[in-house]
Structure 1
Amino acid sequence: MAGTINRDDIAAVRERAPIEEIIGQHVSLKSAGVGSLKGLCPFHDERSPSFHVRPAAGRWHCFGCGEGGDVIEFVMRMDGLPFAEAVEYLAERAGVTLRYESGGRRGSESGASMRRRLLEAHRVAAEYFVEQLSSPEAQIARDFLRDRGFDREAAEHFGCGYAPQGWSHLTDHLRRKGFTEPELKASGLVSEGQRGVYDRFRGRLVWPIREVTGDVIGFGARRLHEDDQGPKYLNTPETQIYKKSHVLYGLDLAKGAIRSERATVVVEGYTDVMACHLAGITNAVATCGTAFGEDHVKVVRRLMGDTGQTQLKVGSTGAKVIFTFDGDEAGQNAALKSFALDQQFLAQTFVAVDPEGMDPCDIRQRDGDDAVRRLMERRMPLFEFVIRASLAAHDLETPEGRIAALRTAAPIVGQIRDRALRPEYARRLAGWLGMEPADVLRTVSRAGERAQPAQTQPAGPGGRPTGTQPAHRPDDGPPPMDPETGQIMTVTATRPNPRDPVVRAEALSLGVLLQAKNEIAQDPMTLGIVAELARDSFTAPQYGQIFDAIVAAGGPAAAVADWVGTVEEQAGPDLAPLVSQLAVTPLPHDKPAELGHYARSVLARLLDLAITRRTADLRGRMQRAGAGTDAAQEAFAEIIRLEGRRRQLREVE
């Protein structure tokens, strides 16, 4: 059995794994002020970015759903990995050699992660298939590619390979590489019969399906031989690492263009992705044996940064998604399904359909790269395509047919997300039908009212609807958290108001203590201010507890590698999310000198507020003790001392 991973090695992984790159593979991150990045949260559905990353602190936090943590916790959440497996994955990327305590060691004998083994099996399989594409038997696969306009360089770029005929070529190869039968079964690379396991892919052209990180997690395979009785396309079955509803073929190659262009082209097949990329449309992706669904929408939105906010640069446009469909009935049905998903995009959605019903691969093969680009340029809004498709099913030459067409098309127009466009498309519909615009507008309006779903709010942490929470912005300071769950609570009169200047000062003070540790540690004056602070310097109980955790962790002068993580441990699991949130709250400076001065002024302000409360308490004590008493004189002397200290602090501020 494997031992636990050495704590110092875990700290090294946290320090060396580039959190902005790891998260940036899944979320389109943009600058959110000095030293901070933000994007759409991958863990809950949102329309404006509230997910913040603070690379200098090594932390992320979503101000919308309350989730947060370090780079290890992100990988655990995003990929569904246990802690040890997430550490192993990141260690490999960061070049950290892990040591295992209690006699454990890394490797299959010590119970290394199944996920790691499955990814390694797919890497080995992908290399094997590529090698086999050069074999004499694979001539049929090379001919298939050549006939569709793909040369050797294109095949290498997309990792195309060949699965040889026979029952156990790949299986035997993987066994020689040390993979066990349970690992082979779990990989999806083999099937199981009465005589044991055998190759799932045989005599087929193979495409590797990769995660956004570039790791191979599955394969798509095209039938080539006439005696192959299987389906035309065969994909990897659902496995621990391959979930077809979350996977888009070509995403590893397209992610850069999707982010930079804020546009995604969704095509229907592997060869269509190849044709688009080779034609210069490098943001093309395809689903893998399933329809484009809700989980695919989330993947695309995160990469595009689909917030619905148009860039304010001259000539720029908002995010857009272009679907390509065959012109047949199946293609129209796919368009209708995509229209149902349109409401989940804030991006504009379009359809690009060739008049002759050809797909991008066929168009490129016949007419070249320019023709593929022209196909995308001829795109029309998705709802226009759906409206026209619905009209095509009716005989518009008869009154009965036109009325039936209106009844079919009116709900579609009524569901157009942009209300300002509905009247315009109602008028167009009237023109297509040859009917009075006022009559069509009334019908569309009634259909839209009937089609409006009940307005619901997505659930926040713990199932609590986000609609019960007040609007909150990161620059308002952290919102109040439930001390038992560490989750954002509904603000009531008895809880601290994040817009209260005192509460804001307390939040900023904890933020600089967590984020500016090194700068504070190098400034004796600031360290002196910190030493004067105490739990009662904070009016919000949660903030006072976190300050106690900072002190318990050794304070800013402590020689701790993972400072925020150490504070989280001291704070406990209930307050850890709030610690993480404070560690990513944007600060106005990131240069050491500026940050050090800012930290000193913020902490001085907090101590000033604490002195104000302390002075008020002392004045009350003097009144209760009575003039001339020893207690009153002691209180007065302390007030004089505190006032002197206050003048010093205001010079600092």
Structure 2
Amino acid sequence: MAGRIKEEDIALVRERARIDDIVGSYVTLKNAGGGSLKGLCPFHDEKSPSFNVTPARGFFYCFGCQEGGDVIDFIQKIDQITFHEAVETLAAKVGVQLRYDESGGPMPKREANQRPRLVLAHKMAAEFYVEQLFGAAEAQPGRQFLKERGFDRDAAVLFGVGFAPRSGDAVLKHLRGRGFSNEELVASGLCAQNQRGPYDRFRGRLLWPIRDAGGDVIGFGARRLFDDDKIEAKYLNTPETAIYKKSKVLYGVDLARREIAKGRQAVVVEGYTDVMACHLAGVQTAVATCGTSFGEDHARVLRQLLLDNDQFRGEVIFTFDGDGAGQRAALKAFGGDQAFAAQTYVAVEPDGMDPCDLRLQKGDAAVRELIGRRVPLYRFVLGNVLSKYDLDRADGRVDALREAAQLVVSVRDRSKVDGFVRELAGHLGLEVEQVRSEVHRAASRPPQREPEHQQRAGVQAQTEAPPRRPDVPSPRDPRFMIEWDVLKMVMQYPHLVHGKFGELDDEDFTHPWLASVRAAMAKAGGPENAQPGEAWVVAVREAMGEDPAVAVISALAVEPLRLDRDPDERFAEAHLARLQELTCMRRITELKSKLQRTNPIERVDEYNRMFGELIALESHRAHLRERAISTS
């Protein structure tokens, strides 16, 4: 794949893509005087327009939600795409032929250059399957399945539902006739192979195309329709391929991403038909995992869509069945709650119906009401804990208190602990101070390791160790993940970062302990002078002296980076650029706040100076983003 886009071409795109024309295709803009245009913000709901566009400077800014930037930033935010993709999108609109610079190293290969062919194969297969659903007599059971669940032809077309013929070689022949090789079709996951050769993986099943956030079909979910299907599993999914990673894929994300970003809400349901039911009922932020449970990578995808951070918190709503499996799923979700800055909720239908059945039996409004009745995930888990005990007995209340206290201790938002203590006291009929004392005891003792099937309330078993001190940064805390990963990379792979380490300073690290580690690394001579093996770790530790932050040195040295291979220099540069971008974004936020408080008429010189600085910072941030994308 081509390298990074030449800087002069990016500048030409900015010049030719008039921000008022581009934004005006999404937002109705009206003259606001002084060369400014105004309209309703596309990034948050508002009744009075606070979204401003200044064509002369090429920037937009919303005084309601504080979103702002240049024309490339706007396309990134509105379409939820990368900087590189936004430039290419605008270039196509304004007729700029982009050139790519190979000297700075190639762009990410996107699955070893297989992606274009595999995506095209999936696109053609999806179209073929749709034709079969509506045109083949043998697809009648599939059409009946949809009808029985309240989905008409328009709904099936909207979600691209199709049918795989039972013959075993229909899609194989169809795609070979369009120039695809057997090797490509097996690599795509559309076909499997045995001793007799390739054959259709999906046969006689109803198919849902699984798309990425950009709308490309990258896999399928297939439901069993016929009793004589040799594969007994009700659902069969595309295997892991160069373009399909089930731990990172969310069904419906292509339809939901804009609404998720706009409403700062994501609804996680359990199946393909549940996603369809939610969207058709007006809950257009619904997504589902594909043949796997909700995990850390799925959380990361949602965080990116939610723009999830401490300043702009959204909400993630999980829907679970009311049975035991649903409760276990809720406990697991609670265990991963730390992945979000957003608030987490649970929506459970009292009758135990999933969104698809609920819509079918009670209508669209019932689905919307289900989401509206959401309760905090913590409160749902607490209810499960307390339901296991006889609270009419004194010993039952004591046992319930002990277990529930561990739950309160594990709550991420410490500001809410006191409120939860009072709530727990009310449930148990105990004095607040008695509950508070038990919570304090729970916080001061390590949880006992239990067999997995006996773990309660989603509190994960841990080895016996003193509790984490409140001032120690956690590598799982979303606020510090990138800072932590950069320091791990410097500690473990100093040869990859020595050329860029000098660009970092204490402002790049928001936790004082991590800033202290960076300073110690510099004091120890920097990664360019690092000796191999443990000598570098020892040198940094000695440079720390008596600083309490020395406590994290060992963790930085031994905790592996979340990779399936060793990192290279491009990966390292991407992480450093991303860290610097976050610093730049904090400076931009601070400057925007000052601008908003400054009267542009009474303090015109100061206002213009700050506005010029803001433009420079936005340009620098865009450059860092391009570095992060181009080298990752």
TM-score, scaled relative to structure 2: 0.61
Please state whether the residue corresponding to 1:402 is helix, strand or coil.
helix
Task: Give the Cα–Cα distance (whole angstroms) in 2 for the partners of residues 232 and 93 of structure 1.
Answer: 45
Match of 1:506 in 2: none
Match of 1:489 in 2: 505
Work out whether 1:437 is the aligned partner of 2:432.
yes
Q: What letter matches 2:187 in structure 1?
A: A
1:442 Cα deviation from its structure 2 partner: 1.2
Contact 1:485–1:574, Cα closer than 8 Å, also in 2: no
Inter-CA distance 93–33: structure 2 relative to 1 (3 Å threshold): closer
Contact 1:17–1:90, Cα closer than 8 Å, also in 2: no
1:18 Cα deviation from its structure 2 partner: 8.2
Contact 2:211–2:251, Cα closer than 8 Å, also in 1: yes
Work out whether 1:458 is the aligned partner of 2:495.
no
Structure 1 regions of 5+ residues with no counterpart?
A: 22-27, 40-48, 61-69, 76-85, 102-110, 311-317, 469-480, 493-571, 604-653
Q: What letter matches 1:148 in structure 2?
A: R
Inter-CA distance 580–401: structure 2 relative to 1 (3 Å threshold): closer
Please state whether the residue corresponding to 1:354 is helix, strand or coil.
coil
Inter-CA distance 337–58: structure 2 relative to 1 (3 Å threshold): closer
Match of 1:637 in 2: none
Match of 1:297 in 2: 299
Contact 1:9–1:99, Cα closer than 8 Å, also in 2: no
Work out whether 1:131 is the aligned partner of 2:131.
yes
1:17-62 deviations in Å (ceiling 9; x for gaps): 98999xxxxxx989899756899xxxxxxxxx999964469999xx
Q: How does 1:378-527 map to 2 (within 5 A)?
A: 378-450=373-445, 453=468, 455-456=472-473, 457-460=480-483, 463-464=486-487, 484-485=500-501, 487-490=503-506
Match of 2:197 in 1: 196
Q: How does 1:72-87 map to 2 (within 5 A)?
A: 72=84
Work out whether 1:319 is the aligned partner of 2:309.
no
1:188-214 deviations in Å (ceiling 9; x for gaps): 111111111111111111111111111
1:308 Cα deviation from its structure 2 partner: 3.6
Q: What letter matches 1:399 in structure 2?
A: A
1:551-585 deviations in Å (ceiling 9; x for gaps): xxxxxxxxxxxxxxxxxxxxx99999999999999
Moved more, 256-265 or 90-99: 90-99
Contact 1:350–1:379, Cα closer than 8 Å, also in 2: yes
Match of 1:261 in 2: 263
Task: Give the Cα–Cα distance (whole angstroms) in 1 for the partners of residues 575 and 391 of structure 2.
Answer: 65
Q: What letter matches 1:223 in structure 2?
A: R
1:281 Cα deviation from its structure 2 partner: 0.7
Please state whether the residue corresponding to 2:267 is helix, strand or coil.
strand
Match of 2:249 in 1: 247
Match of 1:221 in 2: 222
Match of 1:353 in 2: 348
Match of 1:180 in 2: 181
1:414 Cα deviation from its structure 2 partner: 1.8
Task: Give the Cα–Cα distance (whole angstroms) in 1 for the partners of residues 98 and 253 of structure 2.
Answer: 31
Contact 2:6–2:99, Cα closer than 8 Å, also in 1: no
Please identify the structure whose Cα radius of gyration is greater. Answer: 1
Task: Give the Cα–Cα distance (whole angstroms) in 1 for the partners of residues 251 and 224 of structure 2.
Answer: 18
1:501-537 deviations in Å (ceiling 9; x for gaps): xxxxxxxxxxxxxxxxxxxxxxxxxxxxxxxxxxxxx
Contact 2:486–2:575, Cα closer than 8 Å, also in 1: no
Inter-CA distance 3–50: structure 2 relative to 1 (3 Å threshold): closer
1:216-256 deviations in Å (ceiling 9; x for gaps): 11111111111123311111111111111211111111112
Contact 1:294–1:341, Cα closer than 8 Å, also in 2: yes
Match of 2:336 in 1: 341
Match of 1:544 in 2: none
Inter-CA distance 128–340: structure 2 relative to 1 (3 Å threshold): same
Match of 1:615 in 2: none
Inter-CA distance 247–19: structure 2 relative to 1 (3 Å threshold): farther
1:330 alignment partner, one of 301, 325, 331: 325
Inter-CA distance 437–98: structure 2 relative to 1 (3 Å threshold): closer
1:490 Cα deviation from its structure 2 partner: 3.9
Inter-CA distance 580–336: structure 2 relative to 1 (3 Å threshold): closer
Contact 2:211–2:217, Cα closer than 8 Å, also in 1: yes
Q: What letter matches 2:504 in structure 1?
A: I
Please state whether the residue corresponding to 1:396 is helix, strand or coil.
coil
1:94 Cα deviation from its structure 2 partner: 8.1
Inter-CA distance 233–59: structure 2 relative to 1 (3 Å threshold): closer
Inter-CA distance 234–428: structure 2 relative to 1 (3 Å threshold): same
Inter-CA distance 461–116: structure 2 relative to 1 (3 Å threshold): farther
Match of 1:230 in 2: 232
Task: Give the Cα–Cα distance (whole angstroms) in 1 for the partners of residues 370 and 69 of structure 2.
Answer: 39
Inter-CA distance 390–239: structure 2 relative to 1 (3 Å threshold): same
1:183 Cα deviation from its structure 2 partner: 1.2
1:136 Cα deviation from its structure 2 partner: 1.0
Contact 1:411–1:447, Cα closer than 8 Å, also in 2: yes
Match of 1:167 in 2: 168
Inter-CA distance 14–422: structure 2 relative to 1 (3 Å threshold): same
Please state whether the residue corresponding to 2:388 is helix, strand or coil.
coil
Task: Give the Cα–Cα distance (whole angstroms) in 2 for the partners of residues 300 and 207 of structure 1.
Answer: 21
Inter-CA distance 335–19: structure 2 relative to 1 (3 Å threshold): farther
Task: Give the Cα–Cα distance (whole angstroms) in 2 for the partners of residues 362 and 415 of structure 1.
Answer: 34
Please state whether the residue corresponding to 1:460 is helix, strand or coil.
helix
Q: What letter matches 2:487 in structure 1?
A: R
Task: Give the Cα–Cα distance (whole angstroms) in 2 for the partners of residues 574 and 420 of structure 1.
Answer: 32
Task: Give the Cα–Cα distance (whole angstroms) in 2 for the partners of residues 574 and 253 of structure 1.
Answer: 30
- How many residue pairs were aligned? 456
Please state whether the residue corresponding to 1:291 is helix, strand or coil.
coil
Q: What letter matches 2:393 in structure 1?
A: T
1:343 Cα deviation from its structure 2 partner: 2.0
The answer to which structure, 1 or 2, has the higher relative contact order (CA under 8 A, 6+ apart) is 1
Task: Give the Cα–Cα distance (whole angstroms) in 1 for the partners of residues 2 and 426 of structure 2.
Answer: 73
Inter-CA distance 442–490: structure 2 relative to 1 (3 Å threshold): same
Please state whether the residue corresponding to 1:221 is helix, strand or coil.
strand
Task: Give the Cα–Cα distance (whole angstroms) in 2 for the partners of residues 270 and 579 of structure 1.
Answer: 39
1:344 Cα deviation from its structure 2 partner: 2.3
Inter-CA distance 579–18: structure 2 relative to 1 (3 Å threshold): farther
Inter-CA distance 6–351: structure 2 relative to 1 (3 Å threshold): closer
Please state whether the residue corresponding to 2:266 is helix, strand or coil.
strand
Contact 1:429–1:440, Cα closer than 8 Å, also in 2: yes
Please state whether the residue corresponding to 2:336 is helix, strand or coil.
helix
Contact 2:73–2:83, Cα closer than 8 Å, also in 1: no
Match of 1:274 in 2: 276
Match of 2:210 in 1: 209
Inter-CA distance 177–374: structure 2 relative to 1 (3 Å threshold): same
Please state whether the residue corresponding to 2:481 is helix, strand or coil.
coil
1:127 Cα deviation from its structure 2 partner: 0.4
Task: Give the Cα–Cα distance (whole angstroms) in 2 for the partners of residues 361 and 460 of structure 1.
Answer: 42
What do you get for the CA RMSD once the two structures are aligned?
Answer: 4.9
Contact 2:390–2:397, Cα closer than 8 Å, also in 1: yes
Q: What letter matches 1:121 in structure 2?
A: A
Please state whether the residue corresponding to 1:351 is helix, strand or coil.
strand
Moved more, 3-12 or 298-307: 3-12
Inter-CA distance 378–398: structure 2 relative to 1 (3 Å threshold): same
Q: What letter matches 2:157 in structure 1?
A: E
Contact 2:6–2:100, Cα closer than 8 Å, also in 1: no
Please state whether the residue corresponding to 1:133 is helix, strand or coil.
helix
Contact 1:248–1:286, Cα closer than 8 Å, also in 2: yes
Moved more, 438-447 or 168-177: 438-447
1:173 Cα deviation from its structure 2 partner: 0.8
1:305 Cα deviation from its structure 2 partner: 2.3
Task: Give the Cα–Cα distance (whole angstroms) in 1 for the partners of residues 70 and 241 of structure 2.
Answer: 34
Contact 1:486–1:574, Cα closer than 8 Å, also in 2: no
Task: Give the Cα–Cα distance (whole angstroms) in 2 for the partners of residues 392 and 582 of structure 1.
Answer: 47
Inter-CA distance 486–211: structure 2 relative to 1 (3 Å threshold): farther
Match of 2:32 in 1: none
Inter-CA distance 490–482: structure 2 relative to 1 (3 Å threshold): farther
